[in-house]
Amino acid sequence: MPTPLTFSIQPLQDAIAARLREHAWLANIPVLTERHGDIENEIQRALGELEGIDGVSGVCIVILTPAGGSKLPNAPGPILDDFNIVLSVIENVMVNQSEQGTNIRASQVVEFLLRYLHLWTCPGANAPLVAKSPAFSITNAEPLTYQVYFQTKIALQPIRQ
């Protein structure tokens, strides 16, 4: 029987989601991962854009699929020392600031993410998450969307056979 493979990237994304979901301040804010099934409908449900659906909060967090590179291309593994993690904070302002919403603004969620995740060592990472520069940006899209940027390092195990 072949040796089972272990993976690092998806579990890292899942660990960040789990950490966020366990904090009481985010209890009413959906935390989604980009690979979470039908992500567009999940986002629309969270933002209150689908009629007659429970679970509306008006704001959500989406952990995008991480991307990375290596400054050490000849190191075994490889070592992804430029491993970027982006979280989107999306707010339907009209719903979120109504009695149906959380009344927690997207900008407050952005600040929370920076304060809560900066210097936290995620299981599976070889260095703590650090806020990048710039630490966040706002897009000109509707609904209101912020991107929050972190970086860490992971060493992948080589597969030889």
Does residue 2 carry a pLDDT above 70?
no
Predicted confidence (pLDDT) at residue 61 exceeds the cutoff of 60? yes
Secondary structure element (H or E) that encloses residue 110, with its range: helix 106-117
Per-residue pLDDT tens digits for 77-112 = 888 888 999 999 999 998 888 888 899 999 999 999
In the predicted model, is pLDDT for residue 31 greater than 70?
Answer: yes
pLDDT of residue 149: 97
Q: What is the mean pLDDT of residues 26-45?
A: 80
- 141 within domain boundaries: yes
Q: Looking at the domain assignment, is residue 2 inside a domain? A: no
The CA distances from residue 129 to 21, 113, 115, 135, in Å, are 17, 11, 11, 12
120 pLDDT band, cuts 50/70/90, is very high
Structurally, the chain folds into a number of domains equal to 1
Candidates 14, 34, 4; CA nearest to 147 is 34
Query: What is the domain extent for residue 23?
Result: 9-153
Which pLDDT score, from 0 to 100, does residue 4 have?
Answer: 65
Q: What pLDDT is recorded for position 3?
A: 58
Give the pTM.
Answer: 0.86
Residue 155 has pLDDT above 90, yes or no: no
Residue 91 belongs to a domain: yes
The percent of residues in the chain predicted with pLDDT above 90, rounded, is 51
Asked whether residue 118 carries a pLDDT value surpassing 60, the answer given is: yes
Which residues, in sequence order, are bridge partners of residue 82?
69
Please say if the pLDDT value at position 53 is more than 60.
Answer: no
CATH number, domain at 23?
Answer: 3.30.2000.10
